[in-house]
Amino acid sequence: MGRAPCCEKVGLKKGRWTKEEDEVLARYIKEHGEGSWRSLPKNAGLLRCGKSCRLRWINYLRAGLKRGNISEEEEDMIIKLHATLGNSFILLSSPRRWSLIAGHLPGRTDNEIKNYWNSHLSRRAADFRDGVVVDIDLSKLPGGGKRRGGRASRGAVVAAAKEKKAKEKDDRGNSKVAEAEQQLRDTEDDDGGSVSTPRPQSDDCGTAQSEEEQAQASASGLTSDGHGPEEEEEEDPLALSEEMVSALLAPESPKLEVGPDGSCMDSYSGPPSGESGCGSSGPSGDVAQDLDLDDDKAIMDWDLMGLDISTAGDMWDQLVWDYDETLVTEPEGGEEGHQQQDDVMSDLFFLDNL
């Protein structure tokens, strides 16, 4: 039996909010304050779901919101925070922490950042994960490689200039994503690969960083229940990720270096990574290669959590092989063997889909 809907949806208006509705909502909240979202639409005379009212208020009508034009600094912050908070470190709780990222960007909402990431930054991140961005001269493709539609340019004359600018921005974004991911790995490295026992920040950068962070947190005023940051710190599991954020935002964070041949030269891994360079393996491939399964369980646990499955074929092959060996030792043709094989395949499917 499902829970009753938050509001009676029959007869309620959906879709875009009109100016009149915004005014009614804003006026009502100004007079009565936030809260009681369930009864708010009825009391305010709005044919909207309370949830919808809340979302509209939080994302658009609330005071102090910036609209549009994400600055370079904000974009930089989003990329770095996404690389940290979006990492599978918090895989089991939530794949991304938009609200947490938004908390570091005063005046920005989680929805806005989420949209910005999905429309602007995710492709760059995907490009980086898939490998080095390849410049293709579309004009040399069959059919001239002409692109239909889209918001790429406003005219043939402006196109070139914009393309150049866009490329610069893309490069910046790609390098930022690369930097962020690299910094994340270095952060993991610094922590001995275990997030459960994060090393305390050094006084130099830790103190300054935490001050900045506190300032940002207080400026954003985004706490889930109105408690101060100190209060939350004790029990909030995300405090760990906040520490990682601090480490990430430290000015002296190491950069990803690209060798003259285009190969990756990670500051911690030394030589260029693999025969295929960074193109085919991406950031996580190195992690997989550096796994020391016997010596350091903590590192393995962490790296497994952060592992890009698609780039760790060797390790998974090994895992499958081990499973197969186990199966072979079972009584041949037995029902139990089949059952176990099913279980194993189920496990592998589950792991592969993590």
Measured from the Cβ of residue 77, the count of other Cβ atoms closer than 10 Å reads: 21
Instruction: Round to whole Å and give the CA distance between 163 and 139.
Output: 14
- Residue 108 makes contact with DNA by CB under 7 A: no
Answer for the pair 147, 46: CB distance below 8 angstroms, yes or no: no
Q: How far is the CB of 78 from DNA (least distance, A)?
A: 13
Q: How far is the CB of 42 from DNA (least distance, A)?
A: 10
- Residue 276 makes contact with DNA by CB under 7 A: no
Burial class (CB in 10 A: 0-12, 13-18, 19+), 160: exposed
Q: Which stretch binds DNA (CB under 7 A): 46-54, 126-134, 262-270, 317-325?
A: 46-54
Instruction: Round to whole Å and give the CA distance between 159 and 153.
Output: 5
**Interface size with DNA, residues (CB under 7 A):** 59
- Residue 139 makes contact with DNA by CB under 7 A: no
Q: How far is the CB of 96 from DNA (least distance, A)?
A: 4
Chain Cα centroid distance, residue 121: 10
Q: Which stretch binds DNA (CB under 7 A): 60-68, 201-209, 213-221, 301-309?
A: 60-68
Nearer of residues 121 and 287 to DNA, judged by Cβ: 121
From candidates 28, 29, 77, 110, binder to DNA by CB under 7 A: 110
Q: Compose the 3-42 pattern: x for residues touching DNA by CB under 7 A, - for all others.
A: xx-x--x---xxxxx----------------xxxxxx---
Nearer of residues 216 and 253 to DNA, judged by Cβ: 216
Instruction: Round to whole Å and give the CA distance between 147 and 332.
Output: 59
Q: How far is the CB of 351 from DNA (least distance, A)?
A: 19
- Indicate the helix (H) or strand (E) that contains 319: helix 313-329
Q: Interaction with DNA in 140-169: which residues (CB under 7 A)?
A: 146-156, 159
- Residue 43 makes contact with DNA by CB under 7 A: no
Size of the chain, expressed as the number of residues it contains: 354
Q: Which stretch binds DNA (CB under 7 A): 105-113, 210-218, 315-323, 337-345?
A: 105-113
Phi, psi dihedral angles at 258 (to 5 degrees): -110, 125
Answer for the pair 287, 314: CB distance below 8 angstroms, yes or no: no
Q: Interaction with DNA in 76-95: which residues (CB under 7 A)?
A: 94-95
Nearer of residues 16 and 140 to DNA, judged by Cβ: 16
Answer for the pair 240, 197: CB distance below 8 angstroms, yes or no: no
Answer for the pair 25, 12: CB distance below 8 angstroms, yes or no: no
For the CA atoms of 252, 258, 259, 263, the dihedral, rounded to the nearest 10 degrees, stands at 140
User: What is the DSSP-derived secondary structure letter of residue 119?
Assistant: I
| Residues of the shown chain interacting with DNA in the complex, contacts defined by CB under 7 A | 3-4, 6, 9, 13-17, 34-39, 48-52, 54-56, 58-60, 67-68, 94-100, 110-112, 114-116, 118-120, 146-156, 159, 222, 224-225
